[in-house]
């Protein structure tokens, strides 16, 4: 029924589009939970407080979706978003920084669940090495980063160290061959060409709530 013309032009895809694809994926999961198999972009927008023109534009980057007048096949669209996001295979993570945040992420369902798997948590503090985590992993020596990345086929590095250590750890991750890094340390990290460092700033969520407190 639905014809997908796949012509992905990466240069045209912004980070915001990719973030929205993650949102669409969650919407598709919810629709399938509710037994909804077909949906128009307008109904999708109305149900999840999204923008229908934006939905059509985002999905148009990736080819031609949906049947005019009928809408998207939810199951097929979900599968396609999964493929676009590269979620159809296991992605292994290591976390460097075994403090509270690193330990929390180690057993967070979004980090070890679905296709993601935390395969190591490292720290440079000798007093922490060998400590058990709630996820069942033992804290390992950050000096073994390169070896662990290679042996365990790690693709994603997560930094949960204090700000002062983040730059040095990201460089060590890049040396170990990691191409993508998620940085939770509250500092801008410089990266070499070919390495993507995404810094997560949890404060943006509070700013959004602050907006609502002010205006709603």
Interface residues toward a copy of itself, by CB under 8 A: 8, 10, 13-16, 18-23, 25-26, 49, 51, 84-87, 91, 93, 99-101, 103-105, 108-111, 113-116, 134, 155-156, 179-180, 182, 186, 196, 198, 200-216
Residue 99 or 130 with smaller CB distance to a copy of itself = 99
CB of 62 to a copy of itself, least distance (A): 11
- Crossing angle of the two packed helices 41-48 and 52-60, in degrees rounded to 10: 120
* DSSP class of 52: H
CB of 134 to a copy of itself, least distance (A): 8
* DSSP class of 133: -
Q: What DSSP line would sit under 2-47, residue for residue?
A: PPP-----GGG--HHHHHHHHHHHHHHHHHHHTT--EE-HHHHHHH
Largest CA distance in the chain: 63
CB of 2 to a copy of itself, least distance (A): 22
CB of 69 to a copy of itself, least distance (A): 26
């Amino acid at each position: 029924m639905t014809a997908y013309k796949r012509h992905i032009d990466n240069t045209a895809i912004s980070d915001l589009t990719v973030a929205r694809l993650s949102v669409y994926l969650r919407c598709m999961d919810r629709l399938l939970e509710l037994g909804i198999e077909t949906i128009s972009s307008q109904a999708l927008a109305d149900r999840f407080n999204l923008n229908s023109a934006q939905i059509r534009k985002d999905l148009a980057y990736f080819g031609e979706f949906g049947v005019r007048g009928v809408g998207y096949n939810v199951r097929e669209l979900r599968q396609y978003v999964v493929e676009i996001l590269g979620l159809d295979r296991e992605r292994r993570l290591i976390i460097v920084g075994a403090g509270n945040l690193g330990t929390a992420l180690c057993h967070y369902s979004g980090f070890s669940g679905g296709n993601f798997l935390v395969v190591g948590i490292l720290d440079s503090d000798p007093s922490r090495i060998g400590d058990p985590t709630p996820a069942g992993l033992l804290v390992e020596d950050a000096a073994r980063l390169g070896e662990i990345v290679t042996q365990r086929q790690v693709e994603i590095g997560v930094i949960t160290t204090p700000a002062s250590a983040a730059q040095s750890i990201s460089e060590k991750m890049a040396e170990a061959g990691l191409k993508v890094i998620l940085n939770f340390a509250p500092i801008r990290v410089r990266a070499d060409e070919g390495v993507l460092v995404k810094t997560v700033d949890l404060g943006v969520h509070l700013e959004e709530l602050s907006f609502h407190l002010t205006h709603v």
